[in-house]
Amino acid sequence: MQLGQSYFKWYKIYLANLNNMNKIPTVSVIITTYNRADLLPRAINSVLNQTYKDFELIIVDDGSTDNTKEIVEDFQQKDSRIVYVYQENQGWPSALNKGLSVVRGEFIAFLDSDDEWLPLKLEEQINIFNKSNSTNLGMVGCDILIIKENTNFKKEFKFSALKENLIENVLKGRLPTTLSALLIRREIFNKIGLIDKNLRRMADQDLWIRILQYYNVDFVPSILLKYYIHGGNISISQFPYENQVSENLYLIKKHENFFKKYPQSYSHRLKTIGTLYMVCGDSSKARIYFLKAIKVYPMDFFIYRNFLLSFLGKNIYSFLLKLKKRMFDISF
C-alpha cells in the first residue's frame, strides 16, 4: 500500500513537471545562491507566495557545500515550477548568466537568496508593463525596505521618487542597485549582453547603466522588496577597498562616453575613487583623482575639501569618513 502511494505521488510530480516543461511562463525568476541554506527558504517562499502565479523559478546553486540541494529538492516536490541548476563555484555574475541561459519567460526577475519579495511584487510590475504606452520600457523596479538584521534598523528607499534624476544617481553610485527590485524584458539582454563577469560587487551597477543607456525605466511606488544587510553580504564583508577601486576604474572606462554626458556624476565617481585610494593609504593617487574630478566638474566644493584633507594622512581621513557615515547613516 505504501509503495503504491509513493509511486502515485512520484507520478503526479512527473506529470506536473511534464506540463510545466511544455508551458512557457510569463516570468522567469532567477535565484542564485551559495552556502545560504539557512536563508534560502525565506527567498523561495516569497516567490511561491506571489499573487502573480505565471512564473518559473530557477535556482542556480553556485557550488554550495551545505545542504542547499536537499532544501531545493524538498521545495520541488511541492511545486513543479522550480528548476534546480548546479555549477561549480564561479561567482555571482557567472551564476546569474547560468540562470539566463535556461530561462523561458518573456520577463526576467532576479532575487538574491538573502532577500525577500512582498506578495504583490510581480503582479504590480507586470501591471505597469501592461499599461505602458512605451514600446521602449525595458525594466520596472520598486521601492525597497532596507533591514539590518539583528538590529532595529529599518529604512525605506523610494526609487520611484528619484525617477527624474535616476541616471545621475546611478552613475554616482549612490543607489542600492540591487537586481532583486527589478523586472526586466528578456529581449533586452539580446541588445545589452549578459552580466559582466569581470565585475563582482558592481555587476548590478553595470547592468543598470547599460539598460539606462537604451531603455526607459519605470517604478512601482510601493515597497515590494525587503533588502537585508548582514555579515554575509558580499558588498559588506568580502570586498576590500582595493577591489572597489579596480571595479570603479573598470566601470568608468567601460562607460566613459556615457559618463561624460553627465559631468557632475562623472566627477562624483572620480571623487569616490580618490576617497577609496585615500582609505587604502595611497595619498598621491587619491590627489590625482580628486584633481581629475575638479577638472570634470569644478563647481563641487567638497572635492576641494577632500583634496586638502588628503594631506592629513590616511588615519585622520579614515576617521572623518567613518564619522560622516555615522552622522548620515550611509548604508551604500
The CATH number covering residue 67 comes to 3.90.550.10
Q: Are residues 225 and 258 in the same domain?
A: no
pLDDT value, residue 317: 67
**Span 240-253, mean pLDDT?**
94
Structure confidence at residue 326 as a pLDDT band (50, 70, 90): low
pLDDT value, residue 22: 64
Q: Which of 232, 262, 284 is the last residue of a domain?
A: 232
pLDDT value, residue 239: 60
Q: Are residues 208 and 247 in the same domain?
A: no
* Better-scored residue on pLDDT, 135 or 327: 135
Query: Could you give the number of structural domains in the chain?
Result: 2
Q: Are residues 61 and 208 in the same domain?
A: yes
Q: Are residues 87 and 143 in the same domain?
A: yes
Residue 237 has pLDDT above 50, yes or no: no
Structure confidence at residue 324 as a pLDDT band (50, 70, 90): low
Read off the CATH number of the domain in which 254 is found: 1.25.40
Residue 1 has pLDDT above 80, yes or no: no
Structure confidence at residue 19 as a pLDDT band (50, 70, 90): low
Q: Are 245 and 135 in contact (CB under 8 A)?
A: no
Range of the domain at 225: 2-232
Mind listing the pLDDT tens digit for each residue in 222-235?
999 999 987 654 44
Mind listing the pLDDT tens digit for each residue in 58-94?
999 999 999 999 999 999 999 999 999 999 999 999 9
Cα separation of 69 and 77, whole Å?
Answer: 13
Average model confidence (pLDDT) for the chain? Answer: 88
Residue 280 has pLDDT above 90, yes or no: no
User: Closest Cα to residue 55, out of 19, 93, 84, 81?
Assistant: 81
Q: Are residues 70 and 180 in the same domain?
A: yes
pLDDT value, residue 327: 44
Q: Are residues 212 and 266 in the same domain?
A: no
pLDDT value, residue 174: 86
Q: Are residues 106 and 187 in the same domain?
A: yes
Cell representation of residue 116: 525577500
Q: Which of 232, 258, 289 is the last residue of a domain?
A: 232
Q: Are residues 211 and 290 in the same domain?
A: no
pLDDT value, residue 320: 63
What is the pTM (predicted TM-score) of this model?
Answer: 0.86
Cell representation of residue 68: 542547499
pLDDT value, residue 279: 84
Q: Are residues 225 and 254 in the same domain?
A: no
Q: Are residues 156 and 211 in the same domain?
A: yes
pLDDT value, residue 328: 42
Residue 162 has pLDDT above 70, yes or no: yes
pLDDT value, residue 281: 85
**Span 11-34, mean pLDDT?**
73
Burial 298-319, CB ≥16 within 10 A → b, else e: eebeebeebbebbeeebeebee
pLDDT value, residue 310: 83
Q: Indicate the range of 136-140, 193-197, 253-257, 275-279 predicted with least confidence.
A: 275-279
Q: Are residues 191 and 311 in the same domain?
A: no
* Better-scored residue on pLDDT, 327 or 163: 163
Q: Which of 201, 232, 263 is the last residue of a domain?
A: 232
Q: Are residues 216 and 266 in the same domain?
A: no
* Better-scored residue on pLDDT, 135 or 5: 135
